[in-house]
């Protein structure tokens, strides 16, 4: 009895995790790999549904195992995706004021950037717009660095599908 619940729960974790990875693969243009993940995912799903519907166990507890496996699989799939498929990010920052010292701090921290002079809504306030393409795992560090030195900076973060005629310079830490 317990093993049936555990089987349903674990199988749902596996098939939903595969589904999450499949979705990310599709979005990133890896359609053949995504199709293979989808095939395995649906086979597992079919077998789990068949087991869940054929059992003589109380349906409420089977549903709990099914739903719990789905929720856990969604969480685990996200973790696995982040580990398996690291992504590059584009960070755009509009500073609250024109501050060359901030540019030096960012550069000294190892981030390459493109800087544009921009003006605020009233066309009076001079600011910088920074474009930084980095490995996604460094986004949090960069965001913290910016906020530490410019609490009012406007920051947007996007996933980057590709970079052409450029490269993402590895981040280094100066001592």
Mean pLDDT score, 117-126: 79
The 3-class secondary structure across the chain, one letter per residue, is: CHHHHHHHHHHHHHHHHHHHHHHHHHHCCCHHHHHHHHHHHHHHHHHHHHHHHHCCCCHHHHHHHHHHHHHHHHHHHHHHHHHHCCCEEEEEEECCCCCHHHHHHHHHCCCCCEEEEEECCCCCCEEEEEEEEEEHHHHHHHHHHHHHHCCCCEEEEEEECCCCCCCCCCCCCCC
For the domain made up of 88-160, give the CATH fold. Alpha-Beta Plaits (3.30.70)
- What is the per-residue pLDDT across 66-105, written as a single tens digit (0 to 9) for each? 999 999 999 998 888 777 766 788 999 999 888 899 999 9
Give the pLDDT confidence score for residue 174 in this predicted structure. Answer: 47
- pLDDT above 70 (res 169): no
- Per-residue pLDDT at 149: 93
The 10s digit of each residue's pLDDT in 5-27 is 999 999 999 999 999 889 988 88
| pLDDT reported for residue 175 | 44
pTM of the entire structure? Answer: 0.61
Give the pLDDT confidence score for residue 153 in this predicted structure. Answer: 94
Angle at 36 between CA 33 and CA 42, to 5 degrees: 140
Does position 166 have pLDDT exceeding 70, yes or no? no
Q: Which two tokens stand for residue 11?
A: 């199988």
What gap in Å lies between CA 104 and CA 87, rounded to an integer? 26
pLDDT computed for residue 168 by the predictor: 63
Residue 138 has pLDDT above 90, yes or no: no
**Per-domain residue ranges for the chain?**
2-84, 88-160
Q: What proportion of the chain, given as a percentage, has pLDDT over 90?
A: 46
- In the predicted structure, residue 167 carries a pLDDT above the cut 60: no
Q: Are 121 and 158 spatial neighbours (Cβ–Cβ below 8 Å)?
A: no
């Amino acid at each position: 009895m317990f093993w049936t619940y555990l089987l349903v729960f674990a199988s749902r974790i596996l098939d939903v995790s595969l589904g999450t990875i499949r979705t990310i693969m599709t979005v990133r243009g890896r359609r053949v790999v995504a199709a293979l993940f989808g095939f395995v995912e649906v086979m597992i799903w079919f077998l789990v549904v068949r087991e869940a519907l054929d059992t003589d166990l109380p349906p409420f507890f089977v549903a709990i195992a099914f739903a719990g496996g789905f929720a856990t699989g969604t969480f685990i799939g996200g973790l696995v995706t982040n580990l398996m498929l690291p992504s590059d990010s584009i960070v755009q920052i509009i500073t609250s004021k024109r501050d060359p010292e901030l540019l030096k701090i960012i550069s000294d921290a190892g981030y390459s950037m493109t800087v544009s002079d921009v003006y605020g809504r009233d066309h009076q306030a001079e600011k910088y717009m920074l474009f930084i393409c980095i490995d996604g795992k460094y986004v949090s560090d960069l965001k913290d660095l910016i906020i530490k030195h410019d609490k009012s900076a406007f920051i947007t973060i996007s996933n980057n599908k590709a970079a052409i005629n450029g490269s993402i310079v590895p981040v280094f830490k100066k001592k």
